Structure 1
Amino acid sequence: MTARDPATALRVAVLVGSTRKGRVGDTVADWFAGLACRREDLDVTVVDLADFDLPARLPAEPTGEMARLAALIGESDAFVVVTPEYNRSFPASLKQAIDIAYDEWHGKPAGFVSYGCRSSGLHAVEALRCVFIELHVVTMRDTVSFDLFDDGVDDSGRPADDDELGRTVTAMLDQLVWWGTALRAARAERPYVT
């Protein structure tokens, strides 16, 4: 393997969407980031929303924490959103974080890692697709999703690194790299127009 080249590796922010006490989102994100970091074409950063002190109400002027989150989104070439499914959608903490940035999202791709009970978080992913379309984000067709009650998930919420799930991770990341590389080159050639 060649060493990761920071000039060409795709900068991917893995967003941990849940801030709920007792969540498994951080465990799932660490598992996924560990797999993604094995790739030489990715430079992966985990962005845990629990690490940000975001206001309950959006102020007229952005706070320092809001600006810090928007800057991380702006610096990224692509995103992987790790989300649970709460009541057939995604958490309010994730929507708040998405709404803090606007232009920073434009012309970039996003993939999804979802989890839940029975539906594997897929209702949350479908709701997120609608939000990201409005932000001019290209969403990946393939998702990584699993049921927390499945035998392949341990008590901490960490999925087993089985072959089938590994193939799903590879497929989603391959799509993300293709789109991320193409869109990064396009944005470098000319600014994205909304």
Structure 2
Amino acid sequence: MTSPTPSSEPAYADRTYRSGAGLVSGALLLLLLVWLGVDAVVRGSGWTPWLALAVMLTAIPLIVAFTLRPAVFADAQRIRIRNPFRMIVLPWSDVAAVRAKYSTEIHTHSGTKYQLWAVPVSLRERKRAARTAGRKAHDDPHGRTSVHADVRDTQARMASADQTVADLRELAEHATAGPEKATPTITASVRWAYEVIAPAAVGAVLLVVLLAIR
């Protein structure tokens, strides 16, 4: 009995991309806001506790939306972009380009552009990576290192946003390459994050009313 021939195509596991700096800053902001808000509710008098509750109801969803919520989920068939107020699902067949200049963006064949909040572009990190690459080229002008070492070194020198863009482009090219690829059953969709928008809107209205009547 012969064993099955392994597939020559590479396997792509689901990938998740998030901003580490955003997660840390969001957690710190939430801790600070809750600490100050609870202190105002417990020790405040008059309208202060109500104002503190309104501020927390408004600010907590916004902090979560812009720091903890953004993420990008990619697999062999589609990319899911979770931005502060929207969830965008795109099959790779709809993706025309993935670019990172001053922000990371997905461009579709229909001309629509979506920003990837979870993959911020750091110009400082990009310049640092370019300086490292320049020093490497100066130290080894004739390319005496092995091909595999050069690939690993190049990836290590890339800015994190540029590395993410390279990964997403690789997934997109693999998903759409070759005439044998099946037509995906996934359709593009955009869903508003009402679980974030609703409490922030209620808190903002409550805050305006309290400021008006105090």
- State if a TM-score over 0.5 links the two structures: no
TM-score bracket for the superposition, by shorter chain length = under 0.3
The higher relative CO (CA closer than 8 Å, separation ≥ 6) is in 2
Higher gyration radius (CA): 2
TM-score normalised by length of structure 1: 0.22
